[in-house]
Structure formats: C-alpha cells, structure tokens
Amino acid sequence: MLFNSIEFALFLPVVFVLYWFVTQKGLRLQNALLIAASYFFYAWWDWRFLGLIVFSSSLDFWVGLRLAKTNKLNSRKGLLLLSILVNLGFLGFFKYFNFFAESFADAFTLLGKTMDPARLEIILPVGISFYTFQTLSYTIDVYRRKMEPTKDVLSFFAFVSFFPQLVAGPIERATNLLPQFDKERSFEYSAAVNGLRQVLWGLFKKVVIADNCAEIVDMAFADPSGHSGSNLLIGVLFFSFQIYGDFSGYSDMAIGMARLFGFNLKKNFAFPYFSRNIGEFWRRWHISLSTWFRDYLYIPLGGSRGSRVMQIRNVLIVFLVSGFWHGANWTFIVWGGVHALYFIPLVLLNRNRRYLKDITNTKTITWFKTGTQILVTFGLVTLAWIFFRAETLTHSIEYFEGLFSSSLWEVPTIINDLSSKLLVGFILFFIGIEWWGRRDEYAIETLWVDKPKWFQFGFYYSLTMIVFLFGGKAQEFIYFQF
C-alpha cells in the first residue's frame, strides 16, 4: 500500500494505537507487533514474496550467531560468503536474470549469430534492493567485528522488515537501527509532532510536486520527436523535481513515521540541488546508498589511496555498480557512468571533498559564484537524468537530439494551461522553502517556530489543504521499482 493511499491512512493509526496503548508494557510484544504490521504492509503488494524476507532474515540471523562462535578466519569468510551469495543471488535472479539473458543474446548477434534468449516472466519483489543491502550491512559489520550479533530474533526480524522504510529506504545500518529495537521506548509528544510535520512535508513533495510533474514528464518522454526542444527542456527539468520530490518525499514520510514509534532513522537527503559540485551532490543525494557503497565497496577497493589510475578505477566501479543497482537496463549503467565522468576530474584535482559544510557565506560576490556553481551542478545532474528516465539508450539519444535542436529557443507549449502554470508556482514555493530550511534536518522543521501558534498551524493547515486540493493523479513511488 502507498503512503498516500486511503488504505495506509487507516493502517497507520491502527498500528499506532495498538503499539502505544496495547503493547506498550512489553518490548518484545511491541517488536512482534511491528513485525506483524510490517509483514501485513508488505503482503498488501504480493504475499508470496514474504517468504523471501523471512528466509533472508533467518539466514542472516543464523550467520550472525555462527560468526560469534568462531574465530577461524576461513570459517568466518565462508559464513560471510554464504550471506553475500544467497542475498545477492536472490537479487540477481529477480532483478537481473532477463537483463543478462538478453545481453548475452545481443552479444552473439554482434558476432553474426542469432540466439533466442530464455526470458522468464519474473515479478520484481518490491523493495528487494533495499532490504537486501540492509541485511548485508549486518553480516558484514558482524564479520568485521564492528558490532556484536543480536541474540533476539524478534529484534532482528523487526529491523529487517520495519515498514516505514522497508520498500524504499533509507537503507539503515544495523549499527544504528538494530540497537533501537533492544531499548525500551516511551511516547514523546514533541518527537511525534516533529514526525508528523516531516510526514506532511514529505506528502507535499510527493503529491503536489512529484505527482503533478509526472504528467508533464510522461508527455515529454513519450514522444521526444513530437515535441520542441523547449518542451523537452521543460520535461527533463520537471523530471528533476519529480524524482527528488518523489524519493525525498518518501524518505521524509518514512523518517517521520518512524519517529511516531520512537525510532530515529538516518537522514537520506540533504537538499542536494543546492550542491556546488558533483562531489557535494553525492554527499547529499540518497545518502544511505552512497555511504553504503563508500563503506562496503569503495573503501575496500582502496578508495582514494593508491595511484591515479587506481583511484579512477575505483570511482568508475562504484558509479557503474550504483547505476546497475537502480535497474536492469543499460540506461542506468550509462547514467552511473556519466556521473563517474563528472566525478573523476574532482578526484584528480583533489576537489571531491571541497564542500563539506552548508552554504553560510552571504557576501555578494561569493553568492554570485555560489549561485553559478549550483546552477551548473543542477544542469549537469538534470542532463544525466535523461538516461535515468529514458526507456532505452536509443530513446535517450532521441531525447538529446530533440533537446539540442533549433527548436530549443521556441516558446514552450507543454505548460500553457492553468494547472501547469500553477505547478510552476508550487515548484518555486517549494524551492524557496527548501532554501530557507536548508540548515535543518528537513525544510519546515523549525520554520516559523518563533511565530505565534495560530500562524504556525495556519501554515500547516494551508499545506494540508494544498495536498488535498492540488495533489496530482496518484503515482507509485519511482523507487519501488528498484
């Protein structure tokens, strides 16, 4: 069920009431309730895939216990390898089997031989990429002795299946989230209010920004040859806001809902479109995934140590794997490769960690430079999104050809009605609020806290009415397909 659905609007209050008013005196009972609620939540899509989560959870719980009982290096490596192979094996089969079969057949076609690839009608389990990486972080960290394995099966199963972030993240580390299931939790009014506020902002991003942008984006990408370059420019610009509003909106809702139950999830987005170079963008975009690849792939490969050739190799591997994680399509791999090409010059010039702090300087000449950097970075990211959104590489090339044609300078016609013009206004409002609140965990966390209560609640009420009155046609979250 979607966070912005009627079903979920009924599901969440029921779980909340049972959690705080029925099971509040027993930690294990609370964890059992969360497991049951999470499995029900997941089964709403397809109950048949519950077996995957149960099996993966059981395997990694057992691997953790076995790792604690042996100091033999070969045995420990074997246990870790078992966890990695089984988890990535499931992920590879459900997500990449057809891709590899078709790519293998295409390779033979290039050699002048024709093959009919074995293609299976495989349904992709929603969220498999997210919970697979989450369980892997546990076994890897236990293997590295960064944490002690849990002996509480309920805590572990609840950690893997926790419904707010089960299907689209953030990808939580066991070192952060798992211990929270072992601690007594008490209801905190201020934390709950803060969580609801973040849920509201995430809902605005998803329903008003992302879902409305989706309709224009779909028109532009459906037929690039039938649109002017200016229309295609609007299409990809709106996709930038669609995917950000969609994914960061989900993360905001997940983090806010987790806070309702006494849990603190890691921040997943830090206003990435205000980044001054690509290095800063990737420290602010999908933080839970980028740090996962940093800690479990980039650093083990050698990171920024070694020769320049080795550094370039490591960057290429991480970005290409990151692209492939997003989907079984060459478009995602090329998207990752484009970002690698953006990133490599920063590594060579030692500027990849140049901007580690927020934009706080307010000097006029600095603001001009900063504004230019932000616009250039946003432009580069937006162009790369074409590969991400396109159905095929041919489709993406067709889009680029139409975009950079002479018709780029024509007046766009794709936003000529009242609703699309209103959407432009909402996007400008959205950018302004995000800029205003860029130093907080989320944009409206402390917005107008110094104002009277009637003013604050007037703003929240207005935002709620905008969600109900101007929400676009319901769209599934983009990252559910990953």
Tens of pLDDT along 95-122? 877 666 665 555 555 555 555 555 556 6
Is residue 175 domain-shared with residue 198, that is, in the same domain?
no
Q: Is 361 a domain residue?
A: yes
pLDDT bracket for residue 451 (50, 70, 90): confident
Does residue 389 register a pLDDT over 90?
Answer: yes
Looking at residues 40-66, what average pLDDT do you find?
92
Query: Residue 339: what pLDDT?
Result: 97
pLDDT in tens, 56-93: 999 999 999 999 999 999 999 999 999 999 999 988 88
Do 473 and 455 belong to one domain?
Answer: yes
Same-domain check for residues 252 and 123:
no
Give the per-residue pLDDT at 120: 57
Q: Mean pLDDT over residues 331-353, rounded?
A: 91
Has residue 50 been placed in a domain? yes
Asked if residue 109 belongs to a domain, the reply is yes
Does the pLDDT value for residue 394 go beyond 90?
yes
Contacts of 464 (CB under 8 A, 6+ apart): 200
Q: Do 80 and 146 share a domain, yes or no?
A: yes
pLDDT of residue 453: 87
Name the residue among 268, 288, 207 with its Cα closest to residue 442. 268
286 tagged catalytic: no
Residue 3, pLDDT score: 83
Q: Alpha carbon of 96 to those of 41, 92, 328, 390: distances in Å?
A: 25, 5, 5, 18
pLDDT, tens only, 118-170: 555 667 778 888 899 999 999 999 999 999 999 999 999 999 999 999 988 79
Q: Convert the pLDDT of each residue in 164-194 to its tens digit.
A: 999 887 999 999 999 999 999 999 999 999 9
Provide the mean pLDDT of the chain.
Answer: 89
Lowest mean pLDDT among 222-226, 414-418, 476-480: 476-480
Q: Write down the pTM of the prediction.
A: 0.92
Percent of the chain with pLDDT over 70: 93
User: Does residue 342 sit within a domain?
Assistant: no
Q: Which residue has the higher pLDDT, 479 or 63?
A: 63
Note the pLDDT of residue 475.
79
- Does 254 lie in the same domain as 235? yes
Same domain, yes or no: 37 and 107: yes
- Kindly indicate the confidence band of residue 363, based on its pLDDT and cuts at 50, 70 and 90: low
Q: Is residue 304 over pLDDT 90?
A: no
Q: Is 325 a member of any domain?
A: no
Closest CA to 196 of 255, 128, 277: 255
Looking at the structure, do residues 182 and 44 belong to the same domain, yes or no? yes
Q: Cα separation of 76 and 84, whole Å?
A: 12
Domain termination residue (choose one: 156, 187, 218):
187
Answer whether residue 353 shows pLDDT above 80: no
| pLDDT at residue 281 tops 70 | yes
Number of domains present in the structure of the chain: 2
Instruction: Assess whether 99 and 199 both reside in one domain.
Output: no
Q: Is residue 313 part of a domain?
A: no
Q: Which of 286, 326, 339, 395 is catalytic?
A: 326
Task: State the Cα–Cα distance between residues 329 and 307, nearest whole angstrom.
Answer: 32
DSSP labels for 214-274? HHHHHHHHH-GGGS-HHHHHHHHHHHHHHHHHHHHHHHHHHHHHHHHTT--PPP----GGG
Confidence of residue 212 (pLDDT cuts 50, 70, 90): very high
> Based on the domain organization, do 251 and 147 belong to the same domain?
no
Mean pLDDT (whole number) for 282-303: 93
Q: What is the pLDDT of residues 399-435, one digit of tens each?
A: 999 999 999 999 888 888 888 889 999 999 999 999 9
Instruction: State how far the alpha carbon of 337 is from the alpha carbons of 282, 311, 322, 391, 425, in Å.
Output: 14, 15, 9, 17, 34
- Given this model, what pLDDT does residue 109 score? 55
**pLDDT for position 426:** 96
| Helix or strand run (H / E) with residue 434 | helix 418-436
163 and 203 share one domain: no
pLDDT at 100: 60
Give the end of a domain, one of 118, 153, 187: 187
- Residue 15 in domain: yes
**Residue 275 token pair:** 């980044």
Whether residues 167 and 195 share a domain: the answer is no
> Using 50, 70 and 90 to split pLDDT, how confident is the model at 305?
confident
Q: Which domain holds residue 115?
A: 6-187
- Please state, in angstroms and rounded to a whole number, the distance separating the CA atoms of residues 448 and 197: 13
Q: Is the pLDDT of residue 15 over 90?
A: yes
- Same domain for 183 and 200? no
**Which of these three, 172, 187, 202, is where a domain ends?**
187
On whether residue 203 sits in a domain, the answer given is yes
pLDDT(360) > 70: no
